[in-house]
Amino acid sequence: MPRFSERFTSLPPYALADVPKIKAELIKQGVDVIDLGAGDADQMPPPQVIEAIQKAVTEERFSRYPFQRGLPEFRVKISEWMKLRFGVEYDPFEELLPLIGTKEGVAHLPLCYLDPGDGAIVPDPGYYPYFGGTHMLGADVIEVPLRRETDFLLDWSQVPKKKLARAKLLYLNYPNNPTGAVATEEYLQDALEFCRQHDLLLIHDNAYSELGYDGYRPPSILQIEGAREIAVEFQSLSKTYNMTGWRIGWVAGPREVIAALTKVKVYYDTGVFLACQAAGVAALDSWSEFAPKQVAIFQERRDAAVDAFREAGFEVEKPRATLYLWIPIPSGEPSIDFARRILREAGVVLFPGVGMGKGGEGYFRLALTVPAERLREAAQRVAKVL
């Protein structure tokens, strides 16, 4: 057998690779495991979405190859929704592209730009496809720490000049996974100006735009003046509509970027299942009614979890958006060791911060993916272990 490539072997191991096995063992032993590790849906999509896909799978046309450009009705609906939500107009056939979830788009886009020796500026901690999509091309992953004292906002002034000279891409993600941080329009404007000065493409992952709390409505980078020429934004149906397993999202941006990503995807996939895109139309049609209900559910869970973990002795910030809490580990214990110990001794799955990058060490991430009473129980169990 040939050896694995250096790019593959140098990928960091998945932080929770052994968790499914440990979890299965505990359940087999009769342990009631509370899983707060992944930001995975624990509820159903809107009824209209279920009805739409049930109807679509009975139609012959939806069983054919979707190809990259996707279902025209879905692209038009995306364009209409973006105008309604953010006040921006993007051509549905030239400036939008349906994706098999935003994860693959985020990972594939660097193929359009990066050669070995080039670089991408990524947040640390951050969503691991930013790192992986850059690393697997032999390009330089320019990690910038997100620090609590600066509200977990990426500070591009920390990028060394030599590395900045090689950079082509800047990844931002606000509302942020894993920290729950949010960015103002002024910050996004400054980010665009930085990218303009240094000839960078700004890649904004806005998967949590519809999960803002206490009346907060997260902005889009695309509504900021000057974004149309130098920024793309990824959006997802996963969190807003409980469609994490459906794998459907999109990217919006300059037509030359969309054309390039479409060309790359020809070599990697055949597009989003057409019936799923038909369901995506129904999801966006349900937005004004369904999204506020989702926000109310997650806000209740956020409040319950914040209070419960504070009572358990943790220092917890109340996030204005996303479905995560980002909590310092009080003992100073390595985050992977802490997560494994809590799973084995408390039956609670937490995500170790280092799994989101070196800058996440010393923290754990908690997903609000169970009802409020289960979050309170999880906090009580963890407190007993500590």
Between CA 337 and CA 342 the distance in angstroms is 9
Q: Where are the beta strands (DSSP E) in 126-185?
A: 140-145, 167-172
Whether 6-44+289-385 and 47-286 share one fold: the answer is no
Q: Choose the weakest-confidence range: 63-67, 130-134, 309-313.
A: 63-67
Which two structure tokens, joined as six digits, stand for 295? 């926000």
Residue the block writes with tokens 């800047």: 170
* Identity of the highest mean pLDDT range in 26-30, 31-35, 118-122, 135-139: 118-122
3-state secondary structure 334-362: CHHHHHHHHHHHHCEECEEHHHHCHHHCC
Cβ atoms 220, 173 nearer than 8 A:
no
With a CB cutoff of 8 Å and minimum separation 6, the contacts of 171 are 106, 120, 121, 122, 123, 126, 130, 203, 205
CA-based nearest residue to 37, from 53, 20, 51: 20
Residue the block writes with tokens 């054919």: 64
Between CA 17 and CA 19 the distance in angstroms is 6
CA-based nearest residue to 218, from 175, 173, 171, 172: 175
Phi, psi of 58 (to 5 degrees): -90, -5
Q: Give the Å distances, CA to CA, from 101 to 21, 105, 182.
A: 26, 7, 22
Reported as a pLDDT band with limits 50, 70 and 90, residue 54 is very high
Residue 299 has pLDDT above 90, yes or no: yes
**Residue-level pLDDT at 20:** 77
**Residue-level pLDDT at 386:** 83
Mean pLDDT along residues 345-370 = 92
Cβ atoms 159, 121 nearer than 8 A:
yes
- Give residue 377's Cα distance to chain centre: 27
**Residue-level pLDDT at 220:** 97
Mean pLDDT along residues 285-292 = 93
Residue 93 has pLDDT above 90, yes or no: yes
Residues paired with 123 in a beta bridge = 144
Cβ atoms 221, 172 nearer than 8 A:
yes
pLDDT: which is higher, 89 or 31? 89
Residue 21 has pLDDT above 90, yes or no: no
CB neighbours of residue 256 within 10 Å:
11
Average pLDDT, the chain: 93
Reported as a pLDDT band with limits 50, 70 and 90, residue 16 is low
Burial zone of 305 (CB within 10 Å; 0-12 exposed, 13-18 middle, 19+ buried): buried
CA-based nearest residue to 175, from 208, 224, 203: 208
Q: Is 367 helix (H, G, I), strand (E, B) or coil?
A: strand
* CATH number 3.30.700.30 given to 47-286: no
Burial zone of 33 (CB within 10 Å; 0-12 exposed, 13-18 middle, 19+ buried): middle
Return the DSSP state at 157: G
Q: Choose the weakest-confidence range: 8-17, 33-42, 303-312.
A: 8-17
Residue 122 has pLDDT above 70, yes or no: yes
Reported as a pLDDT band with limits 50, 70 and 90, residue 385 is confident
Residue the block writes with tokens 């993007």: 90
Reported as a pLDDT band with limits 50, 70 and 90, residue 32 is confident
* CATH number 3.10.450.50 given to 6-44+289-385: no
CA-based nearest residue to 283, from 68, 8, 80: 80
Between CA 298 and CA 324 the distance in angstroms is 10
Burial zone of 67 (CB within 10 Å; 0-12 exposed, 13-18 middle, 19+ buried): middle
Mean pLDDT along residues 8-25 = 78
Every domain of the chain and the residues it spans: 6-44+289-385, 47-286
Residue 300 has pLDDT above 80, yes or no: yes
Q: Choose the weakest-confidence range: 165-174, 262-271, 300-309.
A: 262-271
Reported as a pLDDT band with limits 50, 70 and 90, residue 66 is confident
